[in-house]
Amino acid sequence: MDPTQQVRRIVIAGGGTAGWMAAAALARSLGKTHDIKLVESDEIGTVGVGEATIPSLVNFHRLLGIDEREFMAATSATFKLGISFESWRERGMDYIHSFGMTGTDHWTAGFQHFWMKGRERGLASDYGDYCLEHLAARENRFGHLKDDSLGYAYHLDASAYARYLRRFAEHFGAQRIEAKIATVDKHADGSGVAALVLDSGTRIEGDLFIDCTGFRSLLLGGAMGIEYEDWSEWLFNDGAFAVQTNSVGPAVPYTRSIAHDWGWQWGIPLQHRVGNGVVFASRYVDPDAARAALLANIEGEALTEPRLIRFTPGQRKRLWAGNVVGLGLASGFLEPIESTSIHLIQRGIVRLLQTFPSAGIAQSDVDEYNAQAAEDIATIRDFIILHYKVTDRRDTPYWQDAATMEVPASLRHRIELFRETGRVFRQQNELFAENSWIQVMLGQGILPQRHHPSADLMGDAELRGFLDGIRERVRRTAALMPAHGEYVRRWAPAKA
């Protein structure tokens, strides 16, 4: 492979959410000057359980110029303000990890320090009372704000989303090829992929290949031989069942995450149905028992048969090798507890566009891409491990082992820092903000041992006024929002 070869032919192997997100973004940005082909087969199914998203998708759509109402109507989407974690800290104890900011920070210390001081003095209520997204989620309300300051995401039909993005991508010049990939031809020197050979014998040559072939990882893992880094020592879950049910009530503006004795169950409300599933660890429960538990704990009639998805939590050691970039499941998989799968696809696409090798693939770009991707996934991995490590549950072997396992040093430092000082520091480009770490650590049972001295400078009257003022503004704004279901019906009713 000639590293000075100009990149004009982009070939995307595989469709689904990853493939069509890539095609949509590349066609929107480069469709006038580049040849973009996507190869997929209708006979090969997609995993498609990732129906919950995070706020970064709102920004992605804005970059592409996607109309929110049109997209939501096409995908039966609802709004999402956070995740309700049920029985994670202790059986029967729930908390919400919401989007947005909580309270108002001081330049020397975060709001949590003033809240802790108020709690100590009997002046503060629940931490979530000072966050608009948190309160709106609890009260099942939603509404766009004039200043566009509300942090929100979507629940969406993943299959419909792929179809919607296909139409979008084809409008901007992407070409879909219906076929199965039979083999992958490499360059003679082994440095990259030369072509996809289809089941018809046709060769699809390209300069840059994007692997969206799911867990098979035909290009990145197969042809390029990039090893997989297994994170099962920290993330025990290795299987999932997914099932769809009809809706039996108004859609709530949050994802439900319900802890079981050996994993957890999700509930994702769309306009026309509810996505349900369990994620489980097969060393602690028989898959048949996990399937039975799922069916015993759903509301409404099951519209599909539960299907089993097997996975190994982890990541390819490199996401860009030669002229192959892996996206989605082809690059790795972290369980859907914080709805990060679509975000990681999006980040990979944006990073590729930022380093796009029009004049030829430079190893320095490849190295930078891989370094940034590794840093991204490591911090997200740590945040997910946090949910299992920090818990008061000791009622089953699964939770006992999770609470007592050794965790990465990077996560251990964050936990100890918050436990001892109430402080949270994050790197500039980390996905999860300080407020996310605070909400989960408080929700899972960590109450810091001390607060920042800035909070001691306020007397009772001043501190009460500070806290009450924030809480009242949040309450007033939330009270003006309509019911979530009513707002969705007015804003973007699903197409029949």
CATH number of residue 225's parent domain: 3.50.50.60
User: 171, 64 in Cβ contact below 8 A?
Assistant: no
Residues 182 and 269 in one domain: no
Residues 389 and 472 in one domain: yes
Residues 409 and 463 in one domain: yes
Residues 24 and 107 in one domain: no
Q: Does a structural domain hold residue 374?
A: no
Run of H or E including 23? helix 16-30
Residues 412 and 441 in one domain: yes
Give the domain range for residue 16. 9-51+157-231+313-361
Residues 259 and 285 in one domain: yes
Q: Does a structural domain hold residue 90?
A: no
Q: Does a structural domain hold residue 462?
A: yes
Q: Does a structural domain hold residue 63?
A: no
Residues 408 and 391 in one domain: yes
Residues 388 and 470 in one domain: yes
Domain count for the chain, please give it.
3
Q: Does a structural domain hold residue 73?
A: no
Residues 306 and 317 in one domain: no
- Helix 68-75 vs helix 158-171: angle between axes, to the nearest 10 degrees? 130
pTM assigned to the model: 0.95
Q: Per residue of the chain (496 residues), give pLDDT as tens.
A: 676 788 999 999 999 999 999 999 999 999 999 999 999 998 766 555 558 999 999 999 999 999 999 999 999 999 999 999 999 999 999 999 999 999 999 888 999 999 999 999 999 999 999 999 999 999 999 999 999 899 999 999 999 999 999 999 999 999 999 999 999 999 999 899 999 999 999 999 999 999 999 999 999 999 999 999 999 999 999 999 999 999 989 999 999 999 999 999 999 999 989 999 999 999 999 999 999 999 999 999 999 899 899 999 999 999 999 999 999 999 999 988 999 999 999 999 999 999 999 899 999 999 999 999 999 999 999 999 999 999 999 999 999 999 999 999 999 999 999 999 999 988 778 889 999 999 999 999 999 999 999 999 999 999 999 999 999 999 999 999 999 999 999 999 998 6
For 141-273, strand residue ranges (E) read: 153-155, 175-178, 181-186, 193-198, 203-205, 208-211, 228-230, 239-245, 255-259, 263-269
Alpha carbon distance 156, 154 (integer Å): 6
Residues 389 and 474 in one domain: yes
Residues 322 and 224 in one domain: yes
Query: What letter would DSSP give residue 262?
Result: S
Query: What letter would DSSP give residue 367?
Result: H
